[in-house]
């Protein structure tokens, strides 16, 4: 009997997890509102080879390091876009230098433009699909997997490899978006779901 209850509980927990979609609250209008408040950063690798993917991340690191001091002082989307546009030449030079130093001769292009993104996750921040203004860097054929983050507010300057964006960075994001927009993109289940899950986890521990 305990085994049956255990399996049933696992099925319920899986259903709750799979049905939770933080971006589900984002309709087309909300997506456009969110897109009008943030600047994304998009780096596309030459290909999906391990070498090209590693090169993509090195280019990303170098550009983020360069832009960080300037963008961390920005207090608006327009100012962030202006900073990125005014530094095209330097960004291209930095990316090209990284590529050359790694032994490749790929071309590189840099632009700030509207870009169509699918649903994307950065740590526990999930942005809905749609058009966003982005600083785009395309390496070589630009046919490989891409890397992305948010330049404004400056989430690119935090380590989201753990799957969690720090509270300080979420605070900046929350101050930029409305409460509804913020709640729609943060991957945090509602209190009712948390209580429901804990109830069944407690049951399992007592079995």
Confidence of residue 16 (pLDDT cuts 50, 70, 90): very low
Pair (34, 85) in one structural domain? yes
Number of domains in the chain: 2
Pair (144, 196) in one structural domain? no
81-100 tens-digit pLDDT: 999 999 999 999 999 999 99
Pair (154, 62) in one structural domain? yes
Pair (14, 32) in one structural domain? no
Q: What is the pLDDT of residue 32?
A: 92
Arithmetic mean of pLDDT, 46-72: 95
Q: Is residue 43 part of a domain?
A: yes
188-200 tens-digit pLDDT: 644 434 443 434 3
135-194 tens-digit pLDDT: 999 999 999 999 999 999 988 888 776 678 888 888 889 999 999 999 999 876 444 344
Q: Please state the pTM of the whole predicted model.
A: 0.74
Q: What is the pLDDT of residue 1?
A: 54
Percent share of the chain, pLDDT over 90: 60
Q: What is the pLDDT of residue 25?
A: 42
Q: What is the pLDDT of residue 191?
A: 40
Range of the domain at 75: 28-165
Q: How far apart are CA 41 and CA 17, in angstroms?
A: 29
Q: What angle do CA 89, 95, 100 make, to 5 degrees?
A: 120
Name residues whose C-beta falls within 8 Å of residue 192's C-beta, 6 or more positions apart in sequence.
Answer: none
Q: Are strands 146-152 and 39-44 parallel, antiparallel or unpaired?
A: antiparallel
More confident residue, 4 or 80: 80
Q: What is the pLDDT of residue 23?
A: 41
Return the number of other C-beta atoms located less than 10 Å from residue 119's C-beta.
Answer: 13
Pair (64, 133) in one structural domain? yes
Pair (125, 201) in one structural domain? no
Q: Is residue 42 part of a domain?
A: yes
Q: Are 74 and 172 in contact (CB under 8 A)?
A: no
Q: Is residue 178 part of a domain?
A: no
The burial of 37, by beta-carbon neighbours within 10 Å (0-12 exposed, 13-18 middle, 19 or more buried), is given as middle
Pair (14, 48) in one structural domain? no
How high is the mean pLDDT of the chain?
Answer: 82
Pair (113, 195) in one structural domain? no
Q: Two tokens at 81?
A: 């876009």
């Amino acid at each position: 009997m305990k085994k049956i209850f255990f399996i049933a509980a696992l099925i319920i927990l899986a259903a709750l997890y799979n049905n939770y979609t933080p971006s589900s609250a984002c309709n087309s209008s909300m997506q456009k509102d969110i897109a009008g408040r943030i600047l994304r950063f998009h780096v596309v690798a030459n290909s999906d080879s391990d070498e090209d993917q590693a090169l993509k991340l090195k280019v990303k690191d170098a550009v983020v390091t360069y832009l960080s001091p300037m963008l961390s002082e920005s207090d608006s989307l327009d100012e962030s876009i202006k900073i990125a546009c005014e530094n095209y030449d330097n960004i291209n030079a930095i990316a090209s230098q990284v590529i050359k130093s790694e032994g490749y001769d790929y071309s590189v292009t840099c632009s700030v433009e509207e870009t169509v993104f699918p649903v994307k996750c950065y740590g526990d921040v999930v942005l809905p699909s749609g058009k966003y203004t982005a600083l785009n860097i395309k390496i070589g054929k630009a046919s490989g997997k891409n890397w992305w983050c948010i330049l404004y507010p400056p989430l690119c300057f935090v380590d989201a490899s753990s799957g969690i964006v720090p509270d300080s960075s979420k605070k900046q994001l929350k101050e930029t978006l409305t409460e509804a927009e913020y709640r729609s993109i943060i991957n945090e289940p509602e209190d009712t779901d948390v209580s429901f899950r804990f109830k069944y986890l407690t049951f399992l521990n007592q079995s």
